[in-house]
Amino acid sequence: MDVYTMEETWGVTQGEGVTVAVIDTGVDGSHPDLTGQVLKGKDFTGGGDAQEDVEGHGTAMASLIAAHGHGADNADGMMGIAPKAKILPLRVLQNDDDKLLDDEWATAVRYAVDNGAKVVNLSLGDEGGKTLRVGREAIAYAQDHDVLVVASSGNEGGAVGYPAALPGVLAVSAVDENGEFWGSSGAGKEVDLAAPGVDILSANPTNPKGYDLSTGTSDSAAIVSGAAALVRSKYPDLTAGQVANRLIKSASFLGKKGLKAPDDKYGYGVLRPNKAVTMDIPKGPKEGPLGKLPSDTASKAGGSEAGEKNGASGNEDSSSSSNLPLVIGGGVAVLIVIGVIFAVARGRRG
């Protein structure tokens, strides 16, 4: 099934006019597949450069969202989901063994909102505890300012990690090339969507070849962020909640039997970018189906203590200072899903 054949979709929208914030290890804007796409951004790790990425993870996520290829007719390299979206790099980690601090990523979320991002990608998380107040308040701030936050569900095979588990955050698990659930994905009632996350090709400035393969929910979250950019570009009048509604209502279980939405592994189904921008889907309520953190979260704890995600009706086809290591779901790769190579490693001459 050509779920991720993108040429038809790019005839409708390529993410023009939408900025996606990538809160991660920085983004190397000099990579040939990302030139011109990466804004200056900001470093929150101690005065460095947001376009320095010694780990490579942030660049990988940015490429899945907005890579445009290179060379004659951009026939070399790879393409992301939304090749005309802009990337706002916000560096909160330098290496994958750095501690992920809530106050740093929370400050980055607020910066993203204040500097024009319409989608925030959090391909990171804390799988050992709940988000501190500063993080919950930052997510609530994004929600109050019509910014969609997308986060990875985690890679330890247990419960959905934070901040993905927070109400209003679009939590994403991973599937393989056959649309089968990747067993190490975080799973639970908080999962909203699944997307490709196994053997994914993406840009990697730390690899001499410039590319790499990886596996994890980091990749699947970035892919959903790219699709969100497509929807926000095509339907600029939709709220963040209504964008989430389109992504959810256009998802599918891809013919799998015995699943009922929402499913703990797949949520409302596997993301289908083309259907998300072309299906006839009513706008729905402004707040969308994901629930919402209260604006005043001062006395609330994460997860259920801060409210639960609201139910969403899929279509019938959808038949701490967090002092723990960053979970960077494997890092890199153009989507191979349902047997179709997606974020196109076209004509990879070298």
| DSSP codes, 173-217 | EEE-TTSPBPTTS-BSTTEEEEEE-SSEEEE-TTSTTSEEEE-SH
- Among 123, 218, 225, 250, which one carries the catalytic annotation? 218
Query: pLDDT tens digits for 200-226?
Result: 999 999 999 999 999 999 999 999 999
Task: Output the CATH code of domain 7-293+307-341.
Answer: 3.40.50.200
Identify whether 24 is a catalytic site residue: yes
Query: pLDDT tens digits for 329-349?
Result: 333 333 333 333 333 333 322
Bridge-based pairing of strands 76-79 and 191-196 is: unpaired
Identify whether 145 is a catalytic site residue: no
What b/e sequence results for 83-93 when a residue is b if at least 16 CB atoms lie within 10 Å of its CB, and e otherwise? bbbbbbbbbbb
Tokens representing 44? 């929150």
Largest Cα span, the chain:
56
Task: Evaluate if pTM is beyond 0.85.
Answer: yes
Q: What pLDDT is stored for residue 112 in this prediction?
A: 98
- Among 57, 184, 219, 250, which one carries the catalytic annotation? 57
Domains of the chain by residue range: 7-293+307-341
Q: What pLDDT is stored for residue 129 in this prediction?
A: 67
Query: pLDDT tens digits for 256-283?
Result: 888 999 999 999 999 999 999 999 999 9
